[in-house]
Structure 1
Amino acid sequence: MIELNHVSKMYGNVVGVNDLTLRLPMGAYGLIGPNGSGKTTLINLLIGHFRPTIGSLRVLDTSPSSDRQLLRRIGLCPASDVLYPNVSALEWVQYQIRLHGIPRRDCRRLAETALEIVDMTDAMRRPMGTYSLGMRQRTKIAQAIAHQPDLLILDEPYNGLDPVGRNDMTRMLRDWTQSGRGLIFASHVLQEIESVTPSFLLIHGGRLLASGTAAEIESILADTPQEVRLVGKDVAKLIHRLADVDWVESLQLNHVKHELKVSLREPIEFYRQISTWIRDDNLVIEQLRTPDGNLEAVFESLLRRHRGDVT
């Protein structure tokens, strides 16, 4: 589906993506990273909007920047909002389909079908200026799928959707992947992607830091240096346990807050033993705070490993 060979994209002296090499067979993949990580730059490379400064890439076995017919096989939902106040969703989606070279006689039928899939049938003839953000987001999804592409690329597709809309979107994307077509789903929220596909690409600072299934990513993160915090009146009593092991990099105790910061070289060893120590020593520990959910911290740990700062 996608093949990148040492792809880098520069904006003057700024690196958009840096030396990306990967090969993805047809399937569904989550592209996850914090804002500014390079997700949107990578998407623009995949659709041929950008050319690589260095390296080469192929999408659906062709070059995006030289084969404009490729766009007929790709459906794109960008992160940017769309608003043409005096144009209806039906008119706009029909126009987008027509741009792909599909005969005019088929455009209305395809547009109505796509808008029905995203539950916009009742409002599709109203001007988009009357739509909520969630309705505009549904309309963007409709134009991305209306021409029945082989590969769907979504950049933050859950923006503006309420819980019902998110549930509908998740169900639609699951159906899409089960049909055997391709999906690239960019987000900075891990749970959004995990609800659709178990396969992830983690990107930060323009670099691909890790890829694989959720279980494989968890295994990587469990073995990645990180900092944990323990809170409770007995945290100081853990120091004698942690001071004698070589997988602890540093300890920092705050007596006032009853908080112990532990920098770990091998977190998996810590997680294996901490509950036993707390039980055996009969300690009162109220909280154990890990980097889980803090993608910036996790990605920074992976980036340090990638640079060789840690082993």
Structure 2
Amino acid sequence: MSQPMISLERVSRWHGQVIGLNDVSFQLPAGLTALLGPNGAGKSTLLKLVTGQLRPHTGRVLSLNQEPFANPVVAGRMGYCPEIDNFYEELTGREFVTLLAAMNGIRGEGAKKRVQEVMEQVGMADRCDRRIGGYSKGMRQRIKVAQAIIHDPDILIMDEPLNGLDPVGRREMVELMQSFAARGKCVLVSSHILYEVEQITDRILVIFKGRVLAQGNIHDIRDQIDKHPHHIRLTTDRPRELAALLIGQPFVLSARVDPKSEKLIEIETHQPDVFYGALPQLVISGGFLIERFHSPDNNLESVFRYLVGDA
């Protein structure tokens, strides 16, 4: 892991008698990380701590190796796209982003050029001179992203940035986030839509009940959940023969033919890497025809379900 750009060390934060975060520690380097967790898990508290809107009650938060709370230096190098809308409705999109640019020290002709560049980046160049009060949800979301990136920040925090966007808009926003990460920026994006997160990044940070349950690559995390067997579904021309062959392997826990589909075998293994490595030779030596092959466990939804269910 490269030098961390965001770091939390044994951080706790209370809201009255309610614990928002409880003894949380992690480090995030440059790149794109998805923050996952159900409502009430502590995501908003975490983002407010990282962006300097809150101070931890215990522990230490570092953004760009400095404490972010009430720190203008950190604020000037960080972009934040909040989930909620908070606009000057009477302004146009261009005027609003120009105002935010000025607050970040970008003024004059340089500001005009930069605002135009950003409007093109977020797909608002042809609509930014209309009043924000008449914008659709998707247009408002694009303007929020524009103000977050106007000063080309080193850290970009995005809270549910895909809300309100159509499929084209979601794809464009994902590409924008990925381009930032590719330039050595740290991008932390909060989302609750798991299938969309899988299109954004394979690096996740899972939070639940104020604690971090897991951090890292989705597939590495799944491999570490030893309590839950890895499920694989395989469709073949001779399912009973292949199932009998597989059940004899030491790395296979079970292999059964699905009674609803005579060609489908459902397999369980605690050693998926060994299984995937051995399967080609078993299929070739037995002369089996594999028509379809996939794992319902090899996705973010199953990883999240297992983590939360065990917590």
Bin of the TM-score, shorter chain as denominator length? 0.7 to 0.9
- Match among 226, 230, 233 for residue 229 of structure 1: 233
SS in 2 for 1:137: helix
Report 1:66-105 matches (<5 A). 66-67=70-71, 70-81=74-85, 85-97=89-101, 100=103, 102=105
Q: Does 1:268 align with 2:273?
A: yes
Taking structure 1 as reference, are residues 261 and 81 closer, same or farther at Cα in structure 2, changes over 3 Å only? farther
- Match among 278, 285, 292 for residue 283 of structure 2: 278
Q: Distance in 2 between matches of 1:222 and 1:191?
A: 17
Q: Distance in 2 between matches of 1:116 and 1:155?
A: 21
TM-fit CA distance, 1:59: 0.8
SS in 2 for 1:157: coil
Report 1:19-58 matches (<5 A). 19-25=23-29, 27-33=30-36, 35-36=38-39, 39-58=43-62
Taking structure 1 as reference, are residues 237 and 278 closer, same or farther at Cα in structure 2, changes over 3 Å only? same
Q: Distance in 2 between matches of 1:46 and 1:107?
A: 29
Taking structure 1 as reference, are residues 101 and 137 closer, same or farther at Cα in structure 2, changes over 3 Å only? closer
Structure 2 residue runs of 5 or longer lacking an equivalent are none
SS in 1 for 2:67: coil
Q: Distance in 2 between matches of 1:95 and 1:21?
A: 36
SS in 1 for 2:34: strand
Q: Distance in 2 between matches of 1:151 and 1:222?
A: 30
> Is the 1:234–1:283 Cα contact (8 Å) retained in structure 2?
yes
Taking structure 1 as reference, are residues 271 and 177 closer, same or farther at Cα in structure 2, changes over 3 Å only? closer
Which residue does the alignment assign to 2:302?
Answer: 297
Which residue does the alignment assign to 1:157?
Answer: 161
Structure 1 residue runs of 5 or longer lacking an equivalent are none
Report 1:151-190 matches (<5 A). 151-162=155-166, 164-166=168-170, 168-170=172-174, 172-173=176-177, 175-177=179-181, 179-187=183-191, 188=194, 189-190=196-197
TM-fit CA distance, 1:286: 4.1
Match for 2:199: what amino acid? E
Taking structure 1 as reference, are residues 293 and 133 closer, same or farther at Cα in structure 2, changes over 3 Å only? farther
Match for 1:265: what amino acid? H
Q: Distance in 2 between matches of 1:293 and 1:240?
A: 24
TM-score, normalised relative to structure 2: 0.74
- The aligned length equals 296
Q: Distance in 1 between matches of 2:50 and 2:149?
A: 17
Q: Distance in 1 between matches of 2:245 and 2:300?
A: 29
